[in-house]
Amino acid sequence: MSLLLVPTGSHFFWHSQEGERSQSGTLSWSEKEVKELFLNYGQNCVGYLLRHGGTVVSRTVSCLNAKLRAKLSGCLQFQPEENSLTLKLVETGQRLVPAAKHLLFCDTAFFKSLPPEACRYAVPKNLWKKGVRRYGSHGLFHHWVWTKAQAGNPEKIKRVVSVRLGDRSSVAAIYQGRCLEVSCGFTAVEGIPSRHACGDLDPTIIFQLQAAGMTFRDINHLFTAESGFAALAGRDCSFGELVTEPSLKQVSSVIRYNILRYIGACLALLNGLDCLVFTTAWPQAGSFIEEIVAGLEFLGRERIYRLAPEEPLDGGKKAVWFPLNRWQVMAAFLPQR
């Protein structure tokens, strides 16, 4: 029996698997419930997702030994809220189920191989030594997409643009397995606006807000908890609502536009593409995806794409392939989480 723990904001998502049987849920921190979770499901193996490995964790999957655990607090400064939740879960898990196998999954490790042009910011070089670089995000996801996209035809599929759609979206350019560019930067805030975070912003703004009397804590909260879809729509809304609610059409077009811009940047770095992959947990995102693809018709897409028979991916998940004349679009609709 295995247990997977994924921090998301101040909550965490859990998933347990035993043979064919699986269960999942969302919890906020509570000593009693967390204890039950570990004791019920975590006796054999526990996996923890670390959102931001900073300069400390550079492998996608590692065994949590004492040495690694001792270093983990070094990640706290990067994405404090979610990383501290992961750390708290690790500490509790190792105390409650010491005999289980503990694995750490790091969501930034895939981007360790980013070329220097992509991972460096154009700030004075002495700041690079202070941990300033592009770390990326959703590395597990983009890595998985690459594997699946080229699996059928490794000879032909070398340039992949992976678009992850959801409450937090990101776009990555992958060439023969190496990530060349990703929209998330030093943190997952950079890039496409997410459900609560602002995405790309003029660097001057933060200083103006600070001068106007906001504390660092206020600004952090503003950019990570009050911005994004919530700020554009004037209320909290999920990606699912965004792509279906007629009243949110303008908000969804801002997000779609941002995604298209990043896809364009990836196209320039890859000199085109062999496969464009959309992955989302929201089955209602179909028309949102189609509109993005329509914006790329100038690349030489046949006017009408035929739906290929659904091809099963891991665990019975289905992908829909759109075969095109020069390049392919694949949309994988995954079950929620």
Partner 1 sequence: MNILVFNCGSSSLGYKVFEAEKGTCQVLVSGKAHRVGVKGKEPSFIEHRYGQRHTRQETPIATHRQAAGLVFDYLAGEKVHLDAVGHRFVHGGHLFQKSALVTPENFKKLKACLPLAPLHNPTSLSMIEETGRLHPGLGQYVTFDSAFHTTLPEQAYTYAVPETLRKKFSYRKYGFHGLSYTYVTLKAAEFLRRPLKGLKLVACHLGTGGSSVAAIKDGYSVDTSMGFSPLQGLMMSTRCGDIDPMLSLYLMSVFGYRPDALLDKLNRESGLLGVSGISSDLRDIIQSFHGPEGEDAKLSFSMYVQRLKKYVGAYATILQGMDALIFTDDIGVGNHLVREKLCQEMDWCGLFLDEELNRQAKSDAIYRLEKPGSKVAILTIPTDEEYVICREGEKLLSRRQI
Stretch 173-192 residues interacting with partner 1 (CB under 8 A)? 181, 185-187, 189-190
103 binds partner 1 (CB under 8 A): no
Block residue for tokens 């590692």: 62
In the complex with partner 1, the residue whose CB is nearer, 27 or 254, is: 254
Q: Rounded to 5 degrees, what are φ and ψ at 117? A: -60, -35
Task: Work out the burial of residue 282: count CB atoms within 10 Å of its CB; fewer than 13 is exposed, 13-18 middle, 19 or more buried.
Answer: buried
Residues 135-154 that bind partner 1 (CB under 8 A): none
Closest CA to 178 of 139, 152, 151: 139
CB of 219 to partner 1, least distance (A): 6
Contact 33, 108 (CB under 8 A): no
Contact between 7 and partner 1 by CB under 8 A: the answer reads no
Q: Does 162 bind partner 1 (CB under 8 A)?
A: no
Contact between 172 and partner 1 per CB under 8 A: no
122 in contact with partner 1 (CB under 8 A): yes
74 contributes a contact to partner 1 by CB under 8 A: no
- Is the four-CA dihedral 303, 151, 187, 79 of positive or negative sign? positive
Q: Does 267 bind partner 1 (CB under 8 A)?
A: yes
Residue 189 or residue 331: which is nearer to partner 1 going by CB?
189
Between 20 and 117, name the residue whose CB sits nearer to partner 1.
Answer: 117
Spell out the residues 6+ positions from residue 282 whose beta carbon is closer than 8 angstroms to its own.
165, 166, 239, 240, 243, 333
281 touches partner 1 (CB under 8 A): no
Query: Which of residues 96 and 201 has its CB atom nearest to partner 1 in the complex?
Result: 201
Instruction: Name the percent of the chain in helix, strand, coil, to the closest 5.
Output: 40, 20, 35
Task: Decide: helix, strand or coil at residue 98.
Answer: coil
Cβ count within 10 A of residue 178:
12
Subset of 185-244 contacting partner 1 (CB under 8 A):
185-187, 189-190, 193, 198-212, 216, 219-220, 222-224, 226-229, 231-232, 234
Does 130 help bind partner 1 (rule: CB under 8 A)?
Answer: yes
